[in-house]
Amino acid sequence: MEESLLAKTGKSLDHWINVLKQQPLKKHGEMIAYLKAQHSFTHGFANFVALKAREADTGSSDASDLISAQYAKKPDLRPAYDVLNKKIMALGKDVEAVPKKANVSYRVKRQFALVQPSTKTRIDLGLKFNDRPVAGRLEASGPFGTMCTHRVQITTKAQVDKELIDLIKAAYIEAQ
């Protein structure tokens, strides 16, 4: 994402973070709106720069707080998330987890998975494939729109099995 930002704008991530820090913007949405309106950013690049500027995607306690907040009213889903996160992060050293308010995005060169506790009883795992049919556990993307091409519904950590990990691994390989 950082390399693409430089290629698209001719300016580094540090430059854009400094641009944001010179503005009286505190909220993530305000930063995104500013970059889109004043610098013709796409939503994806604006979100990326805003996250970096707010340091919301680092391994800091803020990231841990975001995840804790996601599962605060959905404690039965936390064990499934913990297993999913561990398995996804074990795919490679290049995997980056980006916790947000409602979900956690996993990316390498591009996003390949998104873990979102959608209800009190269900996690939606979004996966992004180049060209894979909807079949078996792979449903249409549902609530993810264009962020992911497919969705897998998870209600227990037992569903994070070899078949699911193989699907996640396939999405990870395609994203490299």
Q: Note the pLDDT tens digit of each residue in 77-101.
A: 999 999 999 999 999 989 988 888 8
pLDDT bin (cut points 50, 70, 90) of residue 57 is very low
Predicted TM-score (pTM) of this structure: 0.68
Q: Token match 């996804």: residue?
A: 88
Whether residue 50 is found in the same domain as residue 89: no
Question: What average pLDDT does range 153-171 have in this prediction?
Answer: 97
Whether residue 89 is found in the same domain as residue 40: no
Domain region containing 29: 2-54
pLDDT bin (cut points 50, 70, 90) of residue 62 is low
| Total domain count, the chain | 2
Whether residue 73 is found in the same domain as residue 46: no
Question: What average pLDDT does range 122-130 have in this prediction?
Answer: 97
How many whole angstroms separate alpha carbon 134 and alpha carbon 89? 25
Question: What average pLDDT does range 107-132 have in this prediction?
Answer: 96
Whether residue 88 is found in the same domain as residue 161: yes
Contact (CB, 8 A) for 112 and 98: no
Q: What is the mean pLDDT of the chain?
A: 91
How many whole angstroms separate alpha carbon 78 and alpha carbon 84? 10
Whether residue 147 is found in the same domain as residue 89: yes
- DSSP conformational letter for 117: E
Whether residue 37 is found in the same domain as residue 78: no
Question: What average pLDDT does range 42-57 have in this prediction?
Answer: 81
Whether the pLDDT of residue 161 is over 60: the answer is yes
pLDDT attached to residue 100: 87
Whether the pLDDT of residue 60 is over 70: the answer is no
Q: What DSSP assignment string belongs to 7-35?
A: HHHSS-HHHHHHHHHTTT--SHHHHHHHH
